[in-house]
Amino acid sequence: MSDLKIVAQDLYGRSPIRRLVPLWWALGLTALFVVSILGMNLNIARIIEGGERLRVMLGQMFPPNFGILGRIIGPAIETLYVAILGTFLGVVFSIVIGVLAAHNITPHVTVEIALKGFSAFTRAVPALIWALLFIVAVGLGPLPGILALAVNSIGMLGKVFAESIEEIDKGQIEAVAATGATPLQIISKAIIPSVTPALVSWSLFRLDINIRYSAVLGVVGAGGIGLELVRSTRMLAFDETLTITLLIFVMVWAVEYVNNQIRAFIR
C-alpha cells in the first residue's frame, strides 16, 4: 500500500490531485466563461451576420477619409482643452482636500473622515456617469465635461495627495515648527517641498487618464471629438470613424509621450 502512495506522489510529495490544482482552476474558470457567454443569447446566425457586417465595415473604413480633418480639428482641440482644465481644477481642489484630509496635519479627525469619504465616492462613480449627470445639471457644452473630469480627478488625487503628505518625515515638520514658523509657513517650507515630486507625477498621470475620458465624453452628449465619433458611426460613415479613431489614438499617445518625458526629467 505504501508503494502505491509513493508512485502517486511527485518529488515534492504532492498527490496527483494537488499537483493538478492549476488545471482545476483553468477548467473552472473556462466553464464560468462559457456560462457567461451563453447568458448573452448568442446564436450562430448572429455571429455569421456579425462577421458579414464586419467585412462590410472594414471595406468602408479603408481608405480612411482624411478630408474631414479640417472639420474635426476644432472638436479635437476642445477635447484637449477639457482634459487640461479638468485636470487643473482637479489638482487645485485635491491639494486643498489632501492638506485637510492628511492624518498628520488635519485640523480635526471628522474633517479627515468626511473628506476621505467624499473622495472615495467621487472616485467610485465613473467619469462618464459624472458627465451624464452634469449635462443634466448645467447644460451642454464643454462645462459639464470639465466638471466631470475635475470631480472624478478629486477622488483619485485627493486620496494620493493626502497619502503622500502622510508619508512625510515627521522630523522635517518639527524642525520647521521649532523655528517658530506659523502653520502656513510649515506648509510652504516643510510640506510642499517634500510632496512636490509625488504631486507632479500623480497629476501628470491623471492628465493621461483624463485625455482618454475627454475623448469619449461626447458619447454621452458632452462635446469634443467623441461627439464626432458617435455621429460618424450613426451615419455609417466608417471611413470617417477610422480617421477620428486614429486622431484619438494620436492625441492620447502624444499626451502620454510628453508626460513620460516630463516624468523622466523629474526623476
Partner 1 sequence: MSDGVLEYTRKNAIRRRRIARLIIFGFTVAVLVSAHGTGFRIRDLYRGIPNIIQFLTEDLLPPRFSVWRRFLGPTLETIAMSYAGTFLSVVFAAPLGFLAARNVSPYPIVMQIARATAVFMRTIPPIVWALLLVSIVGIGPFAGTIALGLSGAGMLIKSYADSIEDIDAGQIEAVRATGAGTFAVMMKGVVPQFSPSFVSWSLYRFDLNIRSAAVVGLVGAGGLGFSLSTAVRLFRYQEAAVAILWILGLILAIEFVTAKLRGHLI
Note the residue count of the chain: 267
Torsion of CA 140, 141, 144, 146, to 10 degrees: 170
Pattern 100-129, binding to partner 1, x per CB under 8 A?
A: ---------------------x--xxx-xx
Pattern 209-228, binding to partner 1, x per CB under 8 A?
A: ---xx-xx--xx--------
Q: At what angle are helices 142-166 and 192-216 packed, to 10 degrees?
A: 150
Q: Which residues contact 173 (CB under 8 A, 6 or more apart)?
A: 104, 105, 186, 190, 191
Is 231 a binder of partner 1 (CB under 8 A)? no
Q: Which of 167, 250, 172 is nearest to 202 (CA)?
A: 167
In this chain, which of 68, 84, 175, 187 binds partner 1, going by CB under 8 A? 84
Q: In terms of C-beta distances under 8 Å and separation of at least 24 residues, what long-range contacts does 2-8 make, across chains too? A: none
Which parts of 153-182 interact with partner 1 (CB under 8 A)?
Answer: none
Is 194 a binder of partner 1 (CB under 8 A)? no
Pattern 32-51, binding to partner 1, x per CB under 8 A?
A: xx-xxx-xxxx---xx--x-
Is 136 a binder of partner 1 (CB under 8 A)? yes
Output the smallest distance, CB 253 to partner 1, in A: 6
Is 85 a binder of partner 1 (CB under 8 A)? yes
Is 11 a binder of partner 1 (CB under 8 A)? no
Output the smallest distance, CB 261 to partner 1, in A: 10
CA distance 58 to 39: 28
Pure H helices in the chain: 2-8, 16-19, 21-38, 44-61, 69-101, 109-124, 127-138, 142-166, 170-178, 183-186, 192-216, 225-234, 238-266
**Nearer residue to partner 1 within complex by CB, 189 or 212:** 212
In this chain, which of 68, 88, 181, 201 binds partner 1, going by CB under 8 A? 88
Q: Which residues contact 128 (CB under 8 A, 6 or more apart)?
A: 148, 213, 216, 217, 219, 220
| Residues of this chain that bind partner 1 (CB under 8 A) | 29-30, 32-33, 35-37, 39-42, 46-47, 50, 53-54, 57, 77-78, 80-82, 84-85, 88-89, 121, 124-126, 128-129, 132-134, 136-138, 141-143, 146-147, 212-213, 215-216, 219-220, 229-230, 233, 236, 238, 241, 245, 248-249, 252-253, 256, 262, 265
